Amino acid sequence: MSNKQNLPIDRRITKSKQALMDALLSLMQTKEFKKITVTDIVKTANLNRGTFYKHYEYKEDILDEMVDDVIADLISSYREPYKNTDFFQLRTLPSSAIKIFEHVSHNKDFYSLMVKSNVLTGVQNKLCNVLKELSLSELKGESSNPKINRELQASFYVHAILGMITEWITEGLKYSPDYMSEQLLEILKNRQTDTIFKLN
C-alpha cells in the first residue's frame, strides 16, 4: 500500500532531478562549468532553488550523478549481448544485440561534451576502466591464445570501441546506431591473425 502511495512522489523526484541534469547539460554546451550558477540551472530547468537544494548541495553533485547514470546505462548496454546467456558466439550474434551505440545516441549531448570539450576531463578514462573491468570479469573467449595477455587484450578492444564512438561523435553521428553496431560486429568477426600488410 505505502509503495503505491510513494510512486507519484518518486516520479516527481525523478522528473525534477532529470530536469536539473538536462538544464546543467544544456548550459554546459555554451558556458564554462565553473561559471554556471545554481540560479542558471534552476531558471533553465524552470524550477525553484528550494527544489535544487532538496536534491543537491552543490552543482557538482548533479554532474557526479549524471556521470554515474550514464555509466550505469553504458554498463547495461554493454552487457546486452550476453545478459541472458552463459556464452555467445560472434559469428552468430545479430548486430541488433549490440546496444552500446543506441546508448551513445540517447546520451549524445553528454558524449559530445566529453569528446569535444575539456568539461568532462577524466570521464573517458573512467569509461575505459569500467568497460575493461567488465570485459575481464565477465567475458572470456574459449579459444583464447594463451600467449595473449588478457588485460592488454581487453584494453585493446575497449579503446577500439571508444575510438569508434569518438569518431562517430566527432563526425556528428552521421551514421545510424544500427550501422555502427553492424560495423563493430563485422570488424570483430573479420579480425585475422595472418593478415599481411603491404607498405606503400
137-180 residue pLDDT tens: 877 765 567 888 889 988 998 999 999 999 999 999 999 999 99
Are 95 and 178 within 8 A, CB to CB? yes
Of 188, 190, 74, give the one whose Cα is nearest residue 126: 74
Q: Tell me the three cell numbers of residue 7.
A: 510512486
Lowest-confidence region among 8-17, 50-59, 60-69: 8-17
Q: What is residue 44's predicted lDDT score, i.e. its pLDDT? A: 96
CATH architecture assignment, domain 1-57: Orthogonal Bundle (1.10)
Query: What are the CA-CA distances from residue 19 to residues 14, 52, 56, 108, 160 (Å)?
Result: 9, 10, 13, 17, 33
Query: How far apart, in whole angstroms, are the C-alpha atoms of residue 153 and residue 187?
Result: 15
Domain ranges of the chain: 1-57, 70-200
Of 163, 159, 98, give the one whose Cα is nearest residue 129: 159
